[in-house]
């Protein structure tokens, strides 16, 4: 885990115009930004474009960082907002078609079953509302607590718990409807 004290100091310095601090901050968190982008919008090239957009936007937004929350909490919010903007703009289903092609290719390999489940899960997650998908990424993929996810999403912890319950119900329903092996 990255040192939060160092992140805070770097972010405060970057907010005051220190370019070296900003560069170090982006360098420290680029993998996290890219991983979140992957989970929020799917595979390349969308996630790579989103990660780059976030890094550029951070240059403009870092001046608004006040240190009221942990830097990583603030960063999650920046990535989440950028992903929401991108999804609103794109609204395409091409990833679903690519996913079906991937399933056919994966059937041939030794890890076909595991990879097929991963592809199914990614496609099933795309069927969820953005709110449910965002909550599950933060809690299940990123391992954040309900309280941390609630702070990032601007909702209550109870709403986070409810959303995760809805995710489980909806995924079970999708699996039953599709006769999925998952």
Could you state, in order of their start, the residue ranges of all structural domains in the chain? 1-91
Q: CA 160, CA 157: separation in Å to the nearest integer?
A: 5
Residue 100 and residue 52 in contact, taking contact as beta carbons nearer than 8 Å = no
Dihedral angle of Cα 122, 106, 95, 97, to the nearest 10 degrees:
-120
Whether 106 shows a pLDDT value over 60: the answer reads no
Lowest mean pLDDT among 98-107, 134-143, 173-182: 98-107
Q: pLDDT at position 128, please?
A: 87
Full-model pTM? 0.65
DSSP state string for 83-112:
HHHHHHHH---HHHHHHHHHHHHHTTSTTH
Q: pLDDT at position 15, please?
A: 93
| pLDDT (mean) for 19-43 | 91
Whether 153 shows a pLDDT value over 90: the answer reads yes
The rounded percent of the chain whose pLDDT value lies above 90 is 43
* CATH fold for domain 1-91: Rna Polymerase Sigma Factor; Chain: A (1.10.1740)
């Amino acid at each position: 885990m990255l040192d939060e004290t160092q992140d805070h100091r770097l972010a405060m310095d970057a907010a005051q115009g220190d370019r070296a601090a900003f560069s170090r901050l982006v360098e420290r968190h680029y993998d996290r930004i890219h991983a979140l982008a992957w989970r929020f919008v799917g595979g390349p090239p969308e996630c790579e474009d989103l990660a780059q957009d976030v890094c550029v936007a951070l240059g403009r937004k870092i001046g608004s960082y006040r240190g009221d929350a942990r830097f990583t909490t603030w960063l999650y919010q920046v990535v989440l907002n950028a992903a929401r903007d991108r999804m609103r703009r794109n609204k395409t289903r091409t990833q679903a078609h690519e996913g079906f092609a991937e399933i056919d290719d994966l059937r041939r390999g030794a890890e076909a079953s595991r990879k097929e489940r991963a592809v199914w899960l990614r496609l099933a997650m795309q069927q969820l509302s953005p709110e449910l998908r965002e909550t599950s990424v933060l809690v299940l993929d990123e391992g954040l607590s309900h309280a941390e996810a609630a702070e990032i999403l601007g909702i209550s912890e109870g709403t986070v718990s409810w959303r995760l319950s809805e995710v489980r119900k909806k995924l079970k329903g999708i699996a039953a409807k599709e006769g999925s092996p998952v």
